[in-house]
Chains A and B, each alone.
Chain A
Amino acid sequence: MIEVNNLGKSYDGNPVLERLNVNVKEGEFVTLVGASGCGKSTFLKMLLGTESPTSGELLLDGKPIADEPGPDRGIVFQQYSVFPHMTVLDNVMSAVGFAQRGLTGYLFGTKRKQARKDAEAMLNEVGLGHALQKYPHELSGGMKQRLAIAQALLGKPRILLLDEPFGALDPGIRADMHELVLRLWKEHKLTIFMVTHDIKEGFYLGTRLWVFDKVRQDPHAPQAFGATITYDLPVNSKARQPAAKTTAETIAPLLAEKAG
């Protein structure tokens, strides 16, 4: 579904990413790890369409990916992902309103009733059925992210992009969120790209894990070269956890060294 051919991205002549070559099939769950500042978010932004490649190609179904965000690619950011002036229910219903044509995206009559039903079902699915009339500032961090996911999913994307969606959550809540994401990924047959700093999380969730790193280093000019995908590891979903642990242990020192 997604083809990356010799993709490169630089800001002001400083390469951030270079020579990316990779293919992703429909339904894969790719997790992206790597040192801070190595370009994971940049890669996600190119998929999203808010940044465009400086060189190479990024193809979706054989065509260059649109250079602005669209409804085929949903996103959940680490924060600021939901609309603060809408209640939980309105936030999710807005997805239906935005999906139709029109000047305002307001829904009326039976369409509104149907959207409300769908939104409530989706919110029940992510465990927010009890907080329909709350505003985002009244929600905890985990609840906000659940809301952001519900909202993104009601937009019916094919691809879901997650940029450290659980980075600000504490471990117990993260575990719940992992189950939620895995369930939704299967139910809605999504292709997911998720950036994470937690390599265990990467192994646990993904069917495939990418490690971003610089292959070429110039000690005198650290900016001279960009990062690329240095490891592209298939993760066996059946033996997910045990396999994850052993590989995680071998990879972790590598990353720690780079990050440090």
Chain B
Amino acid sequence: MKRLINLSPAPATRMFIALLPFVLLLLVYIVASDARLEANPNDKLLPSFSQMGAAIDRMALEPSKRSGDYVFWVDTASSLKRLGMGVAIAASVGLAIGLLTGALPVINASMSPLLTVISLIPPLAILPVLFIIFGLGELSKVMLIVLGITPFIARDLQRRTQEIPSEQLVKAQTLGANTSQIMVRVLLPQLMPKLIDAVRLSMGAGWLFLIAAEAIASTDGLGYRIFLVRRYMSMDVILPYVAWITLLAFLFDWLLATLSRRLFPWNVQGGNS
């Protein structure tokens, strides 16, 4: 018998034991939901899958009676727009700060302490400030996401920049490169896959800030909807929405990982040469 740390499952077994927990959870849910609905057909806590299907049918496939919108898709579009803008801005600003502070000691000396302090501010605590400054519109929600994840991305990329072997910088200088050439051609390209990694890691926080902002001040969005229907204990809406958000999060993560692999074939483990 091999030691446990040397024991890795065969591909087929791996698939099976990966799916097993999901199937088990699903079974537990179905059994529990059936039991509760049997006792009380009006129970709201654990809706059956047909109830959830009906709720989604209503929200995604039929226009709303009040506004004529397909609520589910409008919510999705608004949320993704906010999240996309927030993450895109955070990624650009974070990349710029990370590159500049990582590459230029002078800028690092003046920016690093500030960056550290800003990263320690809990973003949700200043949400009211954002509402006061930027109003209750889209901008304050996007700003919350930006403020929430930029410091992480900036500090991560700063460290990644400093991790690039100094031999490469020396080499570029011996070939006659000036500072901006080194930043554009040596550092920046090597940071791009690290930026994607940093964005993947900060997507979870991005969703958190998005939903928080939507829950507090919004008229549409996935987070808004979940908090709205909570008043009616509509678990049949909440659960599919949560599943949908999870699926979207999974898809983005997969997309970013694939993009990184396609665009940066040189970015392999231990590929520093």
Identify the A interface with B (CB < 8 A). 48, 50, 68-71, 73-75, 77, 79-86, 94-95, 97-106, 135-137, 139, 144, 148, 151-152, 154-155, 157
Contact = CB atoms under 8 A, between A and B. Distances in A.
A69 B181 contact: no
Contacts of B165: 80
Interface of B: 165, 167-168, 170-178, 180-181, 184-186, 189-190, 264-268, 270-273
A52 to B, nearest CB: 14
B167 A81 contact: yes
A95 B174 CA distance: 9
A73 B180 CA distance: 20
Contacts of B180: 103-104
A33 to B, nearest CB: 22
Contact of A48 (B174, B175, B189, B272): B174
A84 B173 contact: no
B271 A98 contact: no
A128 to B, nearest CB: 14
A101 B177 CA distance: 8
Contact of B265 (A50, A95, A135, A148): A135
A80 B173 CA distance: 14
Contacts of B190: 84-85
Given A84-B273, A137-B271, A155-B175, A75 B181 contact: no
A70 B174 contact: yes
A225 to B, nearest CB: 29
Given A94-B185, A98-B181, A83 B175 contact: no
A198 to B, nearest CB: 22
B271 A94 contact: no
Nearest to A92: B175
A100 B173 CA distance: 12
Contacts of A137: 266, 268, 270-271, 273
Contacts of A75: 170-171, 174
A85 B186 CA distance: 8
Contacts of A79: 167, 273
Given A50-B170, A103-B181, A71 B268 contact: no
B176 A99 contact: yes
Given A85-B266, A103-B184, A105-B185, A74 B174 contact: yes
Given A94-B185, A104-B185, A70 B176 contact: yes
A98 B175 contact: yes
Contact of A151 (B175, B189, B264): B175
A98 B177 contact: yes
Contacts of A74: 174-175
Contacts of B189: 85-86
Contact of A69 (B174, B268, B271, B272): B174
A94 to B, nearest CB: 6
A137 B273 CA distance: 7
A104 B181 contact: yes
The 7 closest A-B pairs by CB, nearest first: A71-B176, A69-B173, A98-B177, A105-B181, A80-B167, A136-B273, A80-B165
A122 to B, nearest CB: 13
Contact of A83 (B173, B181, B186): B186
Nearest to B268: A137
A178 to B, nearest CB: 22
Contact of A155 (B170, B176, B184, B271): B176
The listed residue with most B CB atoms (<10 A of its CB), out of A84, A102, A157, is A84
B188 to A, nearest CB: 10
Contacts of A77: 167, 171
Nearest to A159: B174
Contact of B181 (A73, A82, A97, A136): A97
The listed residue with most A CB atoms (<10 A of its CB), out of B170, B265, B271, is B170
